[in-house]
Amino acid sequence: MTRRVVITGVGAITPLGTGADTLHERWKAGECGIESGVGACSEFEPADVLTKKELRRTDRFAQLAIAACEEALATAGWKSGSDDGELPIDPERIGCVIGTGIGGISTIETQHDVLNESGPGRVSPLGIPLMMGNAGAANLALRHGFKGPAFSTVSACAAGADAIGTALRLIRAGDADAVVSGGAEAGITPLAYACFGAMGALSESGISRPFDARRDGFVMGEGAGVLVLEAAEIAEARGATVLAELLGYGASADAYHLTAPEPGGGGAARAIKRALEDAGVSPSDLHYVNAHGTSTPLNDRSETDALKAALGEDVAKSLPVSSTKSAIGHLLGAAGAVEAVATVLALRERVAPPTLGYEVPDEGLDLDYVPDGPRPLTGANGRAIALSNSFGFGGHNAVLCIAA
Amino acid sequence: MPAATQETVETTIVDAIAKLGPEPEDVTRDATFESLDIDSLDLVEVAQIVEEEFGVVLKGEDMEKLKTVGDAIDLVVARAS
Protein backbone atom coordinates (compact mmCIF):
# COMPACT_ATOMS: atom_id res chain seq x y z
CA MET A 1 0.00 0.00 0.00
CA THR A 2 1.29 3.45 -0.90
CA ARG A 3 2.21 5.58 2.07
CA ARG A 4 0.07 8.73 2.33
CA VAL A 5 1.89 12.03 2.73
CA VAL A 6 0.40 15.08 4.42
CA ILE A 7 1.43 18.73 4.67
CA THR A 8 1.63 19.93 8.27
CA GLY A 9 3.58 23.17 7.92
CA VAL A 10 3.91 26.00 5.42
CA GLY A 11 6.10 29.09 5.28
CA ALA A 12 6.71 31.76 2.66
CA ILE A 13 8.76 34.89 2.21
CA THR A 14 7.54 36.70 -0.90
CA PRO A 15 7.33 40.17 -2.47
CA LEU A 16 3.93 40.46 -0.75
CA GLY A 17 5.62 40.19 2.65
CA THR A 18 6.61 37.76 5.36
CA GLY A 19 4.41 34.75 5.95
CA ALA A 20 2.21 32.30 4.10
CA ASP A 21 -0.99 33.95 5.34
CA THR A 22 0.30 37.34 4.20
CA LEU A 23 0.83 35.94 0.70
CA HIS A 24 -2.64 34.37 0.63
CA GLU A 25 -4.56 37.31 2.07
CA ARG A 26 -2.84 40.00 0.02
CA TRP A 27 -3.02 38.08 -3.25
CA LYS A 28 -6.69 37.27 -2.62
CA ALA A 29 -7.34 40.98 -1.96
CA GLY A 30 -5.80 41.87 -5.31
CA GLU A 31 -2.60 43.42 -3.93
CA CYS A 32 0.53 43.23 -6.04
CA GLY A 33 4.05 42.99 -4.59
CA ILE A 34 5.77 44.13 -7.77
CA GLU A 35 7.39 47.56 -7.67
CA SER A 36 9.36 49.23 -10.48
CA GLY A 37 9.22 46.05 -12.52
CA VAL A 38 10.68 43.65 -9.93
CA GLY A 39 9.25 41.50 -7.16
CA ALA A 40 11.72 42.10 -4.35
CA CYS A 41 11.20 40.91 -0.76
CA SER A 42 11.69 44.45 0.51
CA GLU A 43 10.15 43.70 3.92
CA PHE A 44 12.54 40.81 4.58
CA GLU A 45 15.12 41.51 7.31
CA PRO A 46 17.53 38.54 7.50
CA ALA A 47 18.90 39.72 10.87
CA ASP A 48 15.48 39.16 12.44
CA VAL A 49 15.90 35.42 11.94
CA LEU A 50 19.60 34.63 11.49
CA THR A 51 22.49 34.93 13.92
CA LYS A 52 25.45 37.19 13.08
CA LYS A 53 27.45 34.12 12.16
CA GLU A 54 24.69 32.67 9.95
CA LEU A 55 24.29 36.02 8.21
CA ARG A 56 27.92 35.94 7.14
CA ARG A 57 27.76 32.30 6.11
CA THR A 58 24.73 32.42 3.83
CA ASP A 59 23.81 33.96 0.52
CA ARG A 60 20.47 35.76 0.39
CA PHE A 61 18.74 32.76 -1.23
CA ALA A 62 19.66 30.55 1.74
CA GLN A 63 18.61 33.31 4.16
CA LEU A 64 15.18 33.35 2.53
CA ALA A 65 15.00 29.55 2.85
CA ILE A 66 15.91 29.71 6.55
CA ALA A 67 13.23 32.31 7.25
CA ALA A 68 10.51 30.42 5.34
CA CYS A 69 11.55 27.22 7.14
CA GLU A 70 11.16 28.88 10.57
CA GLU A 71 7.55 29.64 9.76
CA ALA A 72 6.90 26.17 8.31
CA LEU A 73 8.31 24.44 11.40
CA ALA A 74 6.31 26.72 13.70
CA THR A 75 3.09 25.94 11.80
CA ALA A 76 3.86 22.24 12.00
CA GLY A 77 4.38 22.50 15.75
CA TRP A 78 8.03 21.48 15.43
CA LYS A 79 10.74 23.30 17.33
CA SER A 80 11.42 26.83 16.17
CA GLY A 81 15.19 27.06 16.63
CA SER A 82 18.25 24.85 16.72
CA ASP A 83 18.45 24.86 20.53
CA ASP A 84 14.77 25.04 21.09
CA GLY A 85 13.85 21.55 22.21
CA GLU A 86 13.65 18.17 20.58
CA LEU A 87 12.32 17.48 17.11
CA PRO A 88 9.06 15.50 17.28
CA ILE A 89 10.41 12.91 14.84
CA ASP A 90 13.70 10.95 14.88
CA PRO A 91 16.14 13.42 13.21
CA GLU A 92 17.68 10.59 11.18
CA ARG A 93 14.24 10.08 9.61
CA ILE A 94 13.86 13.75 8.58
CA GLY A 95 15.02 14.72 5.09
CA CYS A 96 15.46 18.14 3.50
CA VAL A 97 15.09 18.96 -0.21
CA ILE A 98 15.28 22.61 -1.26
CA GLY A 99 15.26 23.58 -4.93
CA THR A 100 16.82 26.61 -6.55
CA GLY A 101 17.25 27.89 -10.06
CA ILE A 102 20.66 29.53 -9.78
CA GLY A 103 21.77 29.38 -6.14
CA GLY A 104 24.01 32.06 -4.66
CA ILE A 105 24.47 34.24 -7.69
CA SER A 106 24.98 37.50 -5.76
CA THR A 107 27.95 35.81 -4.03
CA ILE A 108 29.35 34.71 -7.40
CA GLU A 109 29.08 38.28 -8.69
CA THR A 110 30.65 39.92 -5.63
CA GLN A 111 33.48 37.41 -5.38
CA HIS A 112 34.19 37.78 -9.08
CA ASP A 113 34.55 41.53 -8.52
CA VAL A 114 36.99 40.84 -5.66
CA LEU A 115 38.96 38.47 -7.89
CA ASN A 116 39.25 41.05 -10.65
CA GLU A 117 40.04 43.97 -8.36
CA SER A 118 42.28 42.38 -5.70
CA GLY A 119 43.40 39.01 -7.02
CA PRO A 120 42.84 35.37 -6.03
CA GLY A 121 44.35 35.83 -2.56
CA ARG A 122 41.48 38.07 -1.48
CA VAL A 123 38.40 36.05 -2.42
CA SER A 124 36.37 34.83 0.54
CA PRO A 125 36.91 31.33 1.97
CA LEU A 126 33.12 31.34 2.33
CA GLY A 127 32.59 31.91 -1.40
CA ILE A 128 31.85 28.29 -2.27
CA PRO A 129 29.59 27.42 0.69
CA LEU A 130 27.63 30.61 0.01
CA MET A 131 27.22 30.15 -3.74
CA MET A 132 26.61 26.39 -3.91
CA GLY A 133 23.14 25.51 -5.09
CA ASN A 134 22.67 23.01 -2.26
CA ALA A 135 23.24 25.69 0.41
CA GLY A 136 19.51 25.96 1.14
CA ALA A 137 19.17 22.29 2.07
CA ALA A 138 22.57 22.25 3.81
CA ASN A 139 21.79 25.24 6.01
CA LEU A 140 18.35 23.98 7.04
CA ALA A 141 19.78 20.56 7.91
CA LEU A 142 22.59 22.18 9.89
CA ARG A 143 20.39 24.67 11.73
CA HIS A 144 17.72 22.17 12.75
CA GLY A 145 19.61 18.90 12.88
CA PHE A 146 17.80 17.07 10.07
CA LYS A 147 19.94 13.98 9.51
CA GLY A 148 18.07 12.17 6.75
CA PRO A 149 18.64 12.64 3.00
CA ALA A 150 19.38 16.30 2.21
CA PHE A 151 20.06 17.78 -1.21
CA SER A 152 18.75 20.23 -3.76
CA THR A 153 16.85 20.00 -6.99
CA VAL A 154 17.98 22.19 -9.88
CA SER A 155 15.47 22.38 -12.71
CA ALA A 156 15.13 26.13 -13.26
CA CYS A 157 11.59 27.31 -12.60
CA ALA A 158 10.37 23.78 -11.86
CA ALA A 159 12.93 23.27 -9.06
CA GLY A 160 10.59 24.12 -6.16
CA ALA A 161 7.91 21.71 -7.38
CA ASP A 162 10.49 19.01 -8.15
CA ALA A 163 11.82 19.37 -4.59
CA ILE A 164 8.35 18.80 -3.12
CA GLY A 165 7.69 15.91 -5.51
CA THR A 166 11.02 14.35 -4.59
CA ALA A 167 10.17 14.75 -0.92
CA LEU A 168 6.91 12.88 -1.54
CA ARG A 169 8.87 10.06 -3.17
CA LEU A 170 11.40 9.88 -0.31
CA ILE A 171 8.63 9.43 2.24
CA ARG A 172 6.72 6.93 0.12
CA ALA A 173 9.89 4.93 -0.46
CA GLY A 174 10.54 4.79 3.26
CA ASP A 175 13.80 6.75 3.08
CA ALA A 176 12.35 9.32 5.48
CA ASP A 177 9.29 9.83 7.68
CA ALA A 178 9.23 13.58 7.13
CA VAL A 179 10.89 15.91 4.64
CA VAL A 180 11.24 19.67 4.87
CA SER A 181 11.02 20.77 1.24
CA GLY A 182 10.58 23.80 -0.93
CA GLY A 183 12.54 26.28 -2.97
CA ALA A 184 14.49 29.51 -2.60
CA GLU A 185 15.76 32.13 -5.02
CA ALA A 186 17.47 35.50 -4.79
CA GLY A 187 18.38 36.27 -8.38
CA ILE A 188 17.60 39.96 -8.67
CA THR A 189 21.25 40.78 -9.33
CA PRO A 190 22.87 42.78 -12.12
CA LEU A 191 24.23 39.74 -13.96
CA ALA A 192 21.16 37.51 -13.70
CA TYR A 193 18.87 40.40 -14.58
CA ALA A 194 20.98 41.31 -17.61
CA CYS A 195 21.13 37.70 -18.80
CA PHE A 196 17.36 37.17 -18.54
CA GLY A 197 16.96 40.49 -20.34
CA ALA A 198 19.37 39.46 -23.09
CA MET A 199 17.32 36.36 -23.85
CA GLY A 200 14.18 38.48 -24.15
CA ALA A 201 12.37 36.76 -21.28
CA LEU A 202 11.71 39.82 -19.11
CA SER A 203 8.70 42.06 -19.39
CA GLU A 204 9.60 45.43 -20.88
CA SER A 205 6.46 46.97 -19.43
CA GLY A 206 7.39 45.63 -15.98
CA ILE A 207 3.86 44.27 -15.60
CA SER A 208 3.09 40.64 -14.82
CA ARG A 209 -0.28 39.90 -16.46
CA PRO A 210 -0.44 36.19 -17.21
CA PHE A 211 -2.76 35.02 -20.01
CA ASP A 212 -3.64 38.62 -21.03
CA ALA A 213 -3.15 39.48 -24.72
CA ARG A 214 -0.80 42.33 -23.71
CA ARG A 215 1.60 40.10 -21.72
CA ASP A 216 5.20 40.75 -22.71
CA GLY A 217 7.44 38.60 -20.51
CA PHE A 218 7.93 37.73 -16.87
CA VAL A 219 8.76 40.00 -13.96
CA MET A 220 11.65 38.73 -11.85
CA GLY A 221 10.88 38.03 -8.22
CA GLU A 222 12.70 36.55 -5.25
CA GLY A 223 11.65 34.61 -2.17
CA ALA A 224 11.25 31.18 -0.64
CA GLY A 225 8.55 28.68 0.16
CA VAL A 226 8.99 25.75 2.56
CA LEU A 227 6.57 22.95 3.43
CA VAL A 228 6.75 20.27 6.10
CA LEU A 229 5.72 16.92 4.64
CA GLU A 230 5.10 13.97 6.92
CA ALA A 231 3.97 10.41 6.45
CA ALA A 232 0.27 10.51 7.36
CA GLU A 233 0.63 7.85 10.06
CA ILE A 234 3.51 9.75 11.69
CA ALA A 235 1.58 13.03 11.71
CA GLU A 236 -1.46 11.28 13.11
CA ALA A 237 0.53 9.55 15.84
CA ARG A 238 1.89 12.84 17.12
CA GLY A 239 -1.52 14.53 16.91
CA ALA A 240 -0.42 17.06 14.30
CA THR A 241 -2.83 19.40 12.57
CA VAL A 242 -2.97 18.32 8.93
CA LEU A 243 -3.21 21.28 6.54
CA ALA A 244 -3.49 19.31 3.31
CA GLU A 245 -2.53 16.08 1.61
CA LEU A 246 0.03 15.85 -1.18
CA LEU A 247 -1.73 13.36 -3.41
CA GLY A 248 0.59 13.14 -6.37
CA TYR A 249 3.50 14.40 -8.45
CA GLY A 250 4.21 14.15 -12.15
CA ALA A 251 7.32 15.20 -14.02
CA SER A 252 8.43 15.15 -17.63
CA ALA A 253 10.85 16.76 -20.07
CA ASP A 254 9.88 18.44 -23.34
CA ALA A 255 13.14 17.44 -25.07
CA TYR A 256 12.15 20.09 -27.58
CA HIS A 257 14.13 23.33 -27.10
CA LEU A 258 16.57 24.80 -24.58
CA THR A 259 14.16 27.52 -23.45
CA ALA A 260 10.95 27.53 -25.50
CA PRO A 261 8.10 25.28 -24.33
CA GLU A 262 6.88 22.61 -26.71
CA PRO A 263 4.08 24.11 -28.86
CA GLY A 264 0.80 22.49 -27.90
CA GLY A 265 2.12 21.85 -24.40
CA GLY A 266 2.68 18.12 -24.97
CA GLY A 267 5.42 17.76 -22.34
CA ALA A 268 3.49 19.74 -19.75
CA ALA A 269 0.35 17.72 -20.51
CA ARG A 270 2.24 14.48 -19.81
CA ALA A 271 3.37 15.82 -16.42
CA ILE A 272 -0.21 16.85 -15.57
CA LYS A 273 -1.58 13.42 -16.54
CA ARG A 274 1.15 11.67 -14.59
CA ALA A 275 0.40 13.77 -11.48
CA LEU A 276 -3.29 12.86 -11.72
CA GLU A 277 -2.50 9.15 -12.17
CA ASP A 278 -0.10 9.27 -9.24
CA ALA A 279 -2.80 10.94 -7.13
CA GLY A 280 -5.52 8.55 -8.27
CA VAL A 281 -7.61 11.54 -9.31
CA SER A 282 -9.72 12.12 -12.45
CA PRO A 283 -9.76 15.50 -14.21
CA SER A 284 -13.40 15.90 -13.19
CA ASP A 285 -12.38 15.59 -9.50
CA LEU A 286 -10.38 18.85 -9.70
CA HIS A 287 -11.59 22.17 -8.30
CA TYR A 288 -8.72 24.55 -9.04
CA VAL A 289 -5.49 24.96 -10.99
CA ASN A 290 -2.66 27.14 -9.72
CA ALA A 291 -1.06 27.85 -13.09
CA HIS A 292 2.61 28.34 -13.88
CA GLY A 293 1.30 31.43 -15.74
CA THR A 294 4.52 33.36 -16.26
CA SER A 295 3.16 36.22 -18.39
CA THR A 296 5.44 35.22 -21.26
CA PRO A 297 3.79 34.93 -24.68
CA LEU A 298 4.89 31.32 -25.16
CA ASN A 299 4.30 29.77 -21.72
CA ASP A 300 0.78 31.01 -21.19
CA ARG A 301 -0.30 29.70 -24.57
CA SER A 302 1.35 26.29 -24.26
CA GLU A 303 0.14 25.90 -20.66
CA THR A 304 -3.43 26.62 -21.78
CA ASP A 305 -3.04 24.01 -24.52
CA ALA A 306 -1.50 21.54 -22.05
CA LEU A 307 -4.41 21.88 -19.61
CA LYS A 308 -6.90 21.26 -22.43
CA ALA A 309 -4.91 18.27 -23.70
CA ALA A 310 -4.47 16.69 -20.28
CA LEU A 311 -7.86 17.40 -18.71
CA GLY A 312 -10.08 17.51 -21.77
CA GLU A 313 -11.39 20.79 -23.19
CA ASP A 314 -14.65 20.81 -21.20
CA VAL A 315 -13.07 20.16 -17.81
CA ALA A 316 -10.22 22.61 -18.51
CA LYS A 317 -12.71 25.36 -19.36
CA SER A 318 -14.83 24.66 -16.27
CA LEU A 319 -11.98 25.10 -13.76
CA PRO A 320 -10.75 28.32 -12.17
CA VAL A 321 -7.11 28.75 -13.29
CA SER A 322 -5.12 31.56 -11.68
CA SER A 323 -1.49 32.63 -11.54
CA THR A 324 0.27 33.66 -8.32
CA LYS A 325 2.89 35.33 -10.53
CA SER A 326 0.38 38.10 -11.29
CA ALA A 327 0.87 39.23 -7.67
CA ILE A 328 4.54 38.49 -6.96
CA GLY A 329 6.29 37.99 -10.29
CA HIS A 330 8.33 34.92 -11.15
CA LEU A 331 10.29 33.50 -8.22
CA LEU A 332 12.14 31.05 -10.50
CA GLY A 333 13.38 28.11 -8.40
CA ALA A 334 11.21 29.21 -5.48
CA ALA A 335 8.07 29.65 -7.59
CA GLY A 336 6.81 26.07 -7.43
CA ALA A 337 7.21 25.95 -3.65
CA VAL A 338 5.62 29.33 -2.95
CA GLU A 339 2.77 28.43 -5.30
CA ALA A 340 2.29 25.08 -3.54
CA VAL A 341 1.96 27.02 -0.28
CA ALA A 342 -0.53 29.39 -1.95
CA THR A 343 -2.48 26.40 -3.30
CA VAL A 344 -2.71 24.80 0.16
CA LEU A 345 -4.15 27.99 1.64
CA ALA A 346 -6.52 28.54 -1.32
CA LEU A 347 -7.87 25.00 -0.96
CA ARG A 348 -8.29 25.31 2.78
CA GLU A 349 -10.34 28.48 2.38
CA ARG A 350 -12.12 27.08 -0.70
CA VAL A 351 -11.23 30.14 -2.75
CA ALA A 352 -9.43 30.76 -6.03
CA PRO A 353 -7.42 34.00 -5.79
CA PRO A 354 -7.55 36.06 -8.98
CA THR A 355 -5.14 36.50 -11.86
CA LEU A 356 -4.36 40.19 -11.32
CA GLY A 357 -4.24 42.53 -14.29
CA TYR A 358 -6.05 40.19 -16.65
CA GLU A 359 -8.30 42.28 -18.89
CA VAL A 360 -7.73 41.58 -22.58
CA PRO A 361 -8.41 38.02 -23.78
CA ASP A 362 -5.96 36.52 -26.27
CA GLU A 363 -7.08 34.30 -29.11
CA GLY A 364 -7.04 30.66 -28.08
CA LEU A 365 -6.41 31.50 -24.41
CA ASP A 366 -9.96 30.80 -23.38
CA LEU A 367 -9.86 29.22 -19.91
CA ASP A 368 -11.39 30.77 -16.80
CA TYR A 369 -8.42 32.78 -15.52
CA VAL A 370 -10.34 34.23 -12.55
CA PRO A 371 -10.07 37.85 -13.72
CA ASP A 372 -12.58 39.59 -11.45
CA GLY A 373 -11.45 39.00 -7.90
CA PRO A 374 -11.41 35.93 -5.68
CA ARG A 375 -13.85 33.16 -6.54
CA PRO A 376 -15.33 30.59 -4.14
CA LEU A 377 -14.41 27.03 -5.10
CA THR A 378 -17.63 25.21 -5.83
CA GLY A 379 -18.46 21.53 -5.81
CA ALA A 380 -15.95 20.65 -3.09
CA ASN A 381 -18.22 18.80 -0.74
CA GLY A 382 -15.65 16.56 0.90
CA ARG A 383 -12.21 17.71 -0.06
CA ALA A 384 -11.07 20.28 -2.60
CA ILE A 385 -8.38 19.17 -5.04
CA ALA A 386 -5.97 21.30 -7.07
CA LEU A 387 -3.04 21.10 -9.43
CA SER A 388 -0.01 23.35 -9.11
CA ASN A 389 1.97 23.60 -12.35
CA SER A 390 5.65 24.48 -12.70
CA PHE A 391 7.65 24.48 -15.91
CA GLY A 392 11.30 25.44 -16.34
CA PHE A 393 13.82 26.53 -18.96
CA GLY A 394 15.42 23.35 -20.20
CA GLY A 395 12.00 21.85 -20.83
CA HIS A 396 11.37 20.63 -17.26
CA ASN A 397 7.76 20.07 -16.24
CA ALA A 398 6.67 19.35 -12.64
CA VAL A 399 3.10 19.17 -11.43
CA LEU A 400 1.79 18.64 -7.90
CA CYS A 401 -1.70 17.43 -6.96
CA ILE A 402 -2.85 18.69 -3.56
CA ALA A 403 -6.07 18.15 -1.57
CA ALA A 404 -7.44 19.93 1.48
CA MET B 1 51.56 49.56 6.61
CA PRO B 2 51.57 49.95 10.44
CA ALA B 3 54.28 48.33 12.60
CA ALA B 4 53.22 44.95 13.97
CA THR B 5 53.41 45.56 17.70
CA GLN B 6 51.51 43.64 20.38
CA GLU B 7 49.05 46.55 20.54
CA THR B 8 48.40 47.04 16.82
CA VAL B 9 48.15 43.31 16.10
CA GLU B 10 45.84 42.74 19.07
CA THR B 11 43.53 45.54 17.95
CA THR B 12 43.40 44.23 14.37
CA ILE B 13 42.82 40.59 15.31
CA VAL B 14 40.27 41.27 18.05
CA ASP B 15 38.32 43.59 15.74
CA ALA B 16 38.45 41.03 12.93
CA ILE B 17 37.20 38.19 15.15
CA ALA B 18 34.47 40.31 16.70
CA LYS B 19 33.07 40.94 13.23
CA LEU B 20 32.75 37.17 12.64
CA GLY B 21 30.05 36.56 15.23
CA PRO B 22 31.28 36.57 18.86
CA GLU B 23 30.39 39.40 21.24
CA PRO B 24 33.35 41.86 21.29
CA GLU B 25 33.79 41.60 25.09
CA ASP B 26 34.28 37.83 24.79
CA VAL B 27 37.23 38.21 22.44
CA THR B 28 40.09 38.25 24.96
CA ARG B 29 43.67 36.97 24.67
CA ASP B 30 42.79 33.85 26.65
CA ALA B 31 39.61 33.01 24.78
CA THR B 32 39.86 29.83 22.70
CA PHE B 33 38.63 29.80 19.13
CA GLU B 34 36.50 26.81 20.06
CA SER B 35 34.72 28.76 22.79
CA LEU B 36 34.18 31.67 20.39
CA ASP B 37 32.79 29.29 17.72
CA ILE B 38 35.50 30.42 15.32
CA ASP B 39 36.40 27.65 12.86
CA SER B 40 38.97 27.15 10.12
CA LEU B 41 36.92 29.09 7.54
CA ASP B 42 36.76 32.07 9.91
CA LEU B 43 40.50 31.91 10.55
CA VAL B 44 41.22 32.15 6.82
CA GLU B 45 39.35 35.45 6.84
CA VAL B 46 41.34 36.65 9.85
CA ALA B 47 44.54 35.66 8.02
CA GLN B 48 43.50 37.68 4.97
CA ILE B 49 42.99 40.76 7.14
CA VAL B 50 46.34 40.25 8.89
CA GLU B 51 48.13 39.91 5.55
CA GLU B 52 46.52 43.04 4.21
CA GLU B 53 47.29 45.01 7.37
CA PHE B 54 50.80 43.79 8.26
CA GLY B 55 52.04 41.86 5.22
CA VAL B 56 52.36 38.68 7.31
CA VAL B 57 51.32 35.54 5.43
CA LEU B 58 49.76 32.78 7.53
CA LYS B 59 49.39 29.33 5.98
CA GLY B 60 47.03 26.49 6.84
CA GLU B 61 49.61 24.65 8.95
CA ASP B 62 50.25 27.83 10.98
CA MET B 63 46.56 28.20 11.69
CA GLU B 64 46.01 24.60 12.80
CA LYS B 65 48.27 25.13 15.82
CA LEU B 66 46.39 28.16 17.06
CA LYS B 67 44.15 27.53 20.06
CA THR B 68 43.56 30.99 21.54
CA VAL B 69 43.32 34.59 20.38
CA GLY B 70 46.63 35.22 22.18
CA ASP B 71 48.31 32.43 20.15
CA ALA B 72 47.31 34.20 16.94
CA ILE B 73 48.53 37.61 18.16
CA ASP B 74 51.88 36.20 19.30
CA LEU B 75 52.42 34.34 16.02
CA VAL B 76 51.78 37.44 13.90
CA VAL B 77 54.07 39.61 16.07
CA ALA B 78 56.84 36.98 15.93
CA ARG B 79 56.56 36.58 12.16
CA ALA B 80 56.61 40.32 11.59
CA SER B 81 59.83 40.92 13.53
What confidence tier does A64 reach under pLDDT thresholds 50, 70, 90? very high
Same-domain status, A74 and A222: yes
State yes or no: pLDDT of A83 exceeds 80: no
Nearest to A382 by CA among A264, A246, A259, A285: A285
Mean pLDDT of A61-85: 86
* pLDDT at position B31: 97
> Catalytic residue positions of B?
39
State yes or no: pLDDT of A25 exceeds 80: yes
Same-domain status, A150 and A108: yes
Per residue in A294-311, pLDDT (tens digit) is 999 999 999 999 999 999
ipTM: 0.89
8 A C-beta contact, residue A186 and residue A108: no
Helix axes A266-279, A297-311, angle to 10 degrees: 50
Mean pLDDT of A77-84: 65
Cross-chain residue pair A53–B51, CB shorter than 8 Å: no
Same-domain status, A293 and A379: yes
DSSP assignment of A87-151: -SS-GGGEEEEEE-SS-SHHHHHHHHHHHHHH-GGGS-TTHHHHH-TTHHHHHHHHHHT--S-EE
State yes or no: pLDDT of A378 exceeds 90: no
Same-domain status, A238 and A300: no
State yes or no: pLDDT of A79 exceeds 80: no
Q: Is residue B75 part of a domain?
A: yes
* pLDDT at position A103: 98
Same-domain status, A162 and A303: no
8 A C-beta contact, residue A283 and residue A310: yes
Same-domain status, A186 and A208: yes
* pLDDT at position A381: 80
Q: What is the CATH number of the domain that holds A183?
A: 3.40.47.10
Mean pLDDT of A371-377: 96
Q: Is residue B36 part of a domain?
A: yes
Q: What is the CATH number of the domain that holds B48?
A: 1.10.1200.10
Same-domain status, A238 and A258: no
Give the number of A-B residue pairs with CB atoms closer than 8 Å.
Answer: 21
Same-domain status, A226 and A286: no
State yes or no: pLDDT of A186 exceeds 70: yes
- How close does chain A come to B41, measured CA to CA in Å? 6
* pLDDT at position A82: 47
Residues on chain B bordering chain A, Cβ-to-Cβ distance under 8 angstroms: 20-21, 37, 41, 44-45, 48, 51-52
What confidence tier does B69 reach under pLDDT thresholds 50, 70, 90? very high
Nearest to A313 by CA among A367, A356, A265, A275: A367
What confidence tier does B60 reach under pLDDT thresholds 50, 70, 90? confident
State yes or no: pLDDT of A81 exceeds 70: no
What is the domain count for chain A? Answer: 2
**Nearest CB neighbour to B20, from listed A56, A122, A129:** A56
Contacts of B48 in chain A (CB under 8 A): 121-122, 125
Per residue in A332-367, pLDDT (tens digit) is 999 999 999 999 999 999 999 999 999 999 999 999
Q: Is residue B15 part of a domain?
A: yes
Mean pLDDT of A177-181: 98
- How close does chain A come to B24, measured CA to CA in Å? 12
Same-domain status, A253 and A322: yes
Mean pLDDT of A202-210: 98
Same-domain status, A321 and A392: yes
Chain B residue with Cα closest to A122:
B48
* pLDDT mean across residues, chain A: 96
What is the domain count for chain B? Answer: 1
Same-domain status, A164 and A48: yes
8 A C-beta contact, residue A390 and residue A165: no
Same-domain status, A296 and A162: no
Q: Is residue B1 part of a domain?
A: no
Q: Report the relative pairing of strands A223-231 and A5-14 from DSSP bridges.
A: antiparallel
Q: Residue A179: how many CB atoms within 10 A of its CB?
A: 30
Mean pLDDT of A287-293: 98
What is the CA A213 to chain-centroid distance, rounded? 25
Contacts of B33 in chain A (CB under 8 A): none
* pLDDT mean across residues, chain B: 94
Chain A residue with Cα closest to B41:
A125
Per residue in A117-133, pLDDT (tens digit) is 999 999 999 999 999 99
8 A C-beta contact, residue A9 and residue A76: yes
Range of the domain at A232: 5-244
Please identify, among A180, A213, A244, the residue that sits at the C-terminal boundary of a domain.
A244
> CA-CA distance, A34 to A219, in Å (whole number)?
8
**Nearest CB neighbour to A126, from listed B21, B37, B41:** B41
Range of the domain at B73: 6-80
* pLDDT at position B81: 84
Of the listed ranges A110-114, A183-187, A202-206, B40-44, the least confidently predicted one is B40-44
Contacts of A57 in chain B (CB under 8 A): 41
> Catalytic residue positions of A?
157, 292, 330
Q: Residue A216: how many CB atoms within 10 A of its CB?
A: 17
Contacts of A129 in chain B (CB under 8 A): 41
